[in-house]
Amino acid sequence: MCSSSVLPIDSGRYGSPEVKKIFTEESKLKYMLMVESAIAKAQASSKLIPSNAAKEISLKSTLEYVSYGTWKKIEQSTKHETASLVEALVSVVSEDAKPWVHYGLTSNDILDTALSLQLKEYVLIIQAKIKNLILLLGKYAEKYSSVPSVGRTHGQHASIISFGQKFAVWANDFLDHLNRLQEIKPRVLACKTLGVVGSGSVMGRAALDVMKETASSLGLYPVRSATQIVSRENYAEFVWWCALVASTCDKVSTEFRNLSRTEISEVEEEFLKNQIGSSAVPSKRNPIKNEKVTSLARLVRAMPLVALENIPLWHERDLTNSANERFIISISAILLDEMISTLCDILSSLLVKEDFIKINMERTRGLIYSEFVLDVLLKKGVSRSEAHKILREVASKVHQNGTYFKEELLKDTKVARLITENELNDIFTPKKYLDGSKEIVERTLERIKKEVGK
């Protein structure tokens, strides 16, 4: 661990090594050189530059010839990262190739397209991690699909839900996020090689062909139009996607934190043998992994505001987006990676306490069945308003007297003449009400199998 680090990301606290490596300065240089190489080859195909020059430029556009140290040393005097790369590349190619390095291009042809290559690699990693998360959620959905539990609204007991349905809902949310990611790829993974103001002026009629070929060779999508830069709506959309996925992660962790409260105690985050929950209270077991997810989500949700501010730049571009994008794009991506990995870690060892789920079902002394008693009364011809009123009155007695709902129903003359004790016993059978939940889980599992596999 580097003691001189400023950001927790740099110290190794957050983000996986494979994701953080994508956004290092050395990786950025590697991708910028890849772009220079691909453009030179495409320009040679369109006979804009000599083929021998293109081969030379492509050969030398690697970290072997243009090192990170050389690039940064030149930048100390030029104060321009792309111009420094061009200077470094020019210094290593043959004399015949020197005039054709960076031909007809502008800085953001290289910078934006290199960023797309970074995001392309990131997308492959984060897609795989989200798929793993979905598979884990699917396992819990299947395992607990037949377990009746309390469904809560406004923090209050409302009705009965399969405990597995909670996980099915989240699995569908993340499946939707994967679909959203597929939809935004053509805009986020953009290739732009159209020069100073986006008109392709130096390359003329060949400009669009060069961009199309470059995009194809790099596995990117050619922009339909651009100024000097790719429209910042594209990157705002990516940052927004990160924030959206982060919010779903937060939703899951918030539910786990609530369910792990002492008064509920339906789930418990793994607590290791030598782990300390509190320096003051030895018995504490705090849901710190879930709390970390919520905390990071708050930061990631703040990033889209900055990304949206970057959209209205002056004329064909200015630099007011440049400095902050060095933070918001990489940080959004790295922190989301941390959140997804943390959720997978939580789910790999989450303790579900079925005994407490059952205890909580009875906590309201049977009031959780009021929806189903109402349904029976309606089917026996009682109007909704009258049936609702009767059950509200009975429920009030339960609250006031600390009695059980079934007892009060049997004592109520209006209910007793319509519903027998045997019928009430049948109503107060929780597994009767899981058919819808189980169907939702089954359809979710089918969707997972279709869209994720396994």
Which sequence positions are flagged as catalytic?
Answer: 154, 278
Look up residue 134 and give its two tokens. Answer: 């979905």
**Cα–Cα distance list, 164 to 142, 269, 437 (Å):** 6, 17, 8
Rounded Cα distance between 319 and 404, Å, is 69
Write the Ramachandran bin of 351: left for phi over 0, alpha for psi from -120 to 50, otherwise beta.
beta
Q: What tokens were used for 293?
A: 């997810």
Question: How do 190-191 and 351-352 pair as beta strands?
Answer: unpaired
In terms of residues, how long is the chain? Answer: 454
Q: Is 260 exposed, middle or buried (0-12, 13-18, 19+ CB in 10 A)?
A: buried
Q: Is 2 helix (H, G, I), strand (E, B) or coil?
A: coil
Query: b/e per residue, 103-113, with b = 16+ CB within 10 A?
Result: bbbbbbbbbbb
Question: How far is the CA of 433 from the CAs of 136, 173, 175, 176, 354, in angstroms?
Answer: 25, 24, 27, 27, 18
Cα–Cα distance for residue pair 178/159, rounded to 1 Å:
31
Q: Which residues pair with 162 in a beta bridge?
A: 148
CB 270 within 8 Å of CB 349? yes
Whole-number Å distance between alpha carbons of 125 and 253: 22
Residue 137 · residue 167 · CB < 8 Å: yes
Neighbours of 12 (CB within 10 A): 12
